[in-house]
Amino acid sequence: MTFVKVCGITRPEDARVAVEAGADAIGVVMCSESPRVCTVERARAVFAVVPPGVLRVVVSHTSTEAGLAECLETGPDAVQLSQPLDVPASTGVRLIRVVAPGATVPNDCAMVIVDGSHGTGRAFDPGYARKVMAASRRPVLLAGGLTPENVGAAIRELRPFGVDVASGVEAAPGRKDHARVRAFLEAAKRPYPND
């Protein structure tokens, strides 16, 4: 079954809905210029309602050790980075790397996310996604432009390990539309032939 991360969560009630609908990971954005950015306190409040077994992910575009340290203050299970920083092994926190067209496929991480969108809703490049999936020794998630209406077709066509959604299930930046979250999870978790 497809792994699903719901990202850009800023409110505990949105995290609860995503978890109840079957999300495998909840993402909060920190140290970023995104309209979905959370403080340490807000990220902790979101993570407080996420049960064991659901991955708590801090997503950041930080390029500094200080920014990374702030992300780690929330007690995440994983940190998703688009910059060439490393998460100290001593933290026990997994590293997720973001790649976009032109980037080298990393293997120094637990998971790879194909995302040239960075929360803007711009569609991912299927050709590039296929190349990453073929080259990666790590699980690959698709992100960028996914919605309840198109996620099923993307999964059937590319067969990724998982998908990641932010703007495609929003009523406004940082505020999830609960009906769209449920519809996205239903479409993404539907069994497809050869699952």
Hey, where are the domains in the chain?
A: 3-189
**Can you give the pLDDT at residue 120?**
64
- Of the candidates 7, 38, 71, 109, the residue annotated as catalytic is 7
Q: Which residue has the tokens 């910059």?
A: 83
**Can you give the pLDDT at residue 146?**
96
Homologous superfamily of 3-189 in CATH? Aldolase class I (3.20.20.70)
Give, as one character, the DSSP assignment of residue 91: G
pTM beyond 0.85: the answer is yes
**Can you give the pLDDT at residue 116?**
74
Report the amino acid identity of residue 22: G
- Of the candidates 77, 115, 125, 177, the residue annotated as catalytic is 115
Q: In the chain, which ranges are E strands?
A: 3-6, 25-30, 55-60, 78-81, 94-99, 111-114, 140-143, 162-165, 170-172, 175-176
Q: What is the mean pLDDT of each run of 10 residues along the chain (195 residues)?
A: 96 98 98 92 98 97 94 97 90 94 90 80 86 95 96 95 96 96 97 65
Rounded Cα–Cα distance for residues 60 and 57 (Å): 10
Rounded Cα–Cα distance for residues 39 and 30 (Å): 7
**Can you give the pLDDT at residue 91?**
94
**Catalytic residue at 115?**
yes
